[in-house]
Amino acid sequence: MSRAKRQRPRGGPPRRFSTAHQPSAADAIFTAALRHSRAGRHDEAIVGYRRALEIDPLHFNAWANLGYSLRAGKRAEAAVVAGKRALEIEPGNANVLGNVGNALKDLDRLDESLAAHRAAVEREPGSERTHRNYAVALKAAGFLEEALAEFTKADEIRPGIAPVLFDKALLLLHLARFREGWEAFEIRWKLGELPVRPYRTPRWQGENFAGKRLLIYPEQGFGDAILSSRFVPLAKERGGEVIFECKPETARLLSSLEGVDRVVQTDTDPGDFDYHCPIMSLPGIFDANLDNLPPPPMLSVPQASVEKMRPLFAAHHARFKVGIVWSGSLTFKNNRLRSTSLNRFLRFAEVPGVQLFSLQKGPLESQLAGTGADAVVVDIGGKVDDFCDTAAAIQMLDLVIMTDSSVSHLTASLGKPIWNLLDYVPYWLYLRDREDSPWYPTMRLFRQTRAGDWDGVFERAVAALGDAVAAKREGRWPS
């Protein structure tokens, strides 16, 4: 559940919307399509709903559920049209208004989305679903306090729904209401998305464990592990042996972390321990807030990784060396919001004196060759085996410019300058209305000023890069 993964508006589930309608051939086809939809077979459902509408163009349920399935199939534009056709037949239906509002949100048509959700709330003010959908749209539009109020109303109507409480927790953190937020954040274990470890030993709550062993383990993405590892030395101060579990990709990087007595890799036996603690619970245990944040973790890069990466930079020593990453993990639900295209980053290569180096890992590495960018960008990501190799490459760069992902945490923890290009309502860590990060002193934030608008972000970053190149030439850039 890396990074706010749960911000999922609840569209009306595939079901028969209430309307007066006599059974017909269209109804029979609709019912069969509905079964496909409920089973998640949305392509088949869409075919069925269309057949029903060929027989009865005024079949409300078919239009309504067609809109739902189109959105589920990531065809938001068509989903809006289908939903609005349903509303022509039955104006004011709260379920359809919610589904239309959700599809409009997917398209960044946020004013229209908010209007649809407000209408749904007015129609069904006692529905948890309408308030929750409205809250998600409000957050997407940047109205965080208003979104928190709507999530609170949803919880009052139907208390204890874990996704609602989790969304509230993320908003509290985003608003820097950390003490409330960390406590609320523990609801993540009830979402069913994180495997709850069946340990018989107790969860560590911050008590002294002198003479005993504490296992700290990862739970979410690489970035969260790097972010929260700064609290491990504080845990060590309260007791005995600290066993630090890491995913294989980060094991070498974090093996020398201060406060760690022993590193084990995930899916290996850590041996006996007396307490255990998931790493993202550490900030809450230590009551982290903007006044008491520990510095980023001290990371050690093996010389073998340095020697492995050095030849990739040999021909470019005289240029301003910029690392780029244009996308986070494709499995992250909101990756489309935080990521953009490789071609946008090529604008940085147009700045005189600049050489780009791609730190992109995973399936999107292939875009270098697919766009022809490999002719002007040096591929680093395709040559690294783990985060130590990536860290070694970052140390040889002057600057990293990227959309938000784990490499941003790595770069900032190494103390290298990083420009993080952020979507309109980014990860809670970056708070609001700031160009710096209290968590990372070397990080500069470039924010979208409206949803989906990367053009302004890149215009500002390109101009700033020209200034940075001049600063290095004049000896004013960090070495």
Task: From 98, 126, 161, give the residue that closes a domain.
Answer: 161
The full DSSP string for 133-165 is HHHHHHHHTT-HHHHHHHHHHHHHHSTT-HHHH
Same domain as 404, residue 319: yes
What token pair was written down for 182? 């960390």
Q: Does a structural domain hold residue 175?
A: no
Overall pTM > 0.85? yes
Please say whether the dihedral angle defined by the alpha carbons of residues 86, 88, 94 and 100, taken in this order, is positive or negative: positive
Q: Does a structural domain hold residue 339?
A: yes
The string of pLDDT tens digits covering residues 346-403 is: 999 999 999 999 999 999 999 999 999 999 999 999 999 999 999 999 999 999 999 9
Same domain as 149, residue 218: no
Same domain as 330, residue 466: yes
d(CA 29, CA 42): 14
The predicted pLDDT at position 334 comes to 82
Q: What is the mean pLDDT of residues 283-300?
A: 97
The predicted pLDDT at position 333 comes to 78
Task: From 231, 253, 285, give the residue that closes a domain.
Answer: 285
Q: What is the residue range of 128's domain?
A: 25-161
Task: From 161, 176, 196, give the residue that closes a domain.
Answer: 161
Please say whether the dihedral angle defined by the alpha carbons of residues 69, 70, 76 and 78, taken in this order, is positive or negative: negative
Radius of gyration of the chain (CA): 25
Same domain as 445, residue 358: yes
Same domain as 320, residue 265: no
Q: Does a structural domain hold residue 89?
A: yes
Angle, to 10 degrees, between the axis of helix 144-157 and the axis of helix 128-140? Answer: 170
Q: What is the mean pLDDT of residues 262-290?
A: 97
CATH number at residue 275: 3.40.50.720
The predicted pLDDT at position 401 comes to 98
The predicted pLDDT at position 54 comes to 96
The string of pLDDT tens digits covering residues 159-197 is: 999 999 999 999 999 999 999 999 999 999 999 999 999
Same domain as 423, residue 332: yes
Is residue 408 predicted with pLDDT exceeding 50? yes
Q: Does a structural domain hold residue 74?
A: yes
The predicted pLDDT at position 356 comes to 98
Q: What is the mean pLDDT of residues 122-129?
A: 97
Same domain as 323, residue 464: yes
Q: Does a structural domain hold residue 15?
A: no
Residues 431/435/440/443 CA torsion (nearest 10 deg): 140
CATH number at residue 374: 3.40.50.2000
Q: Does a structural domain hold residue 391?
A: yes
What average pLDDT does the structure give for the chain? 94
d(CA 277, CA 217): 7
> Which amino acid is it at 413?
S
Same domain as 322, residue 467: yes
Q: What is the mean pLDDT of residues 61-87?
A: 97
d(CA 445, CA 414): 17
Nearest to 131 by CA among 110, 103, 153, 115: 153
Residue 440 pairs in a beta bridge with 437
d(CA 51, CA 344): 42
Q: Does a structural domain hold residue 198?
A: no
Same domain as 39, residue 139: yes
Same domain as 358, residue 280: no
How many structural domains compose the chain?
A: 3
The string of pLDDT tens digits covering residues 198-230 is: 999 999 999 999 999 999 999 988 999 999 999
Q: Does a structural domain hold residue 20?
A: no
d(CA 290, CA 439): 8
The predicted pLDDT at position 23 comes to 62
Strands (DSSP E) along 201-247, which ranges? 209-217, 239-246
Is residue 241 predicted with pLDDT exceeding 80? yes
CATH number at residue 101: 1.25.40.10
Same domain as 338, residue 271: no
Q: What is the mean pLDDT of residues 70-94?
A: 97
Same domain as 402, residue 318: yes
Is residue 117 predicted with pLDDT exceeding 50? yes
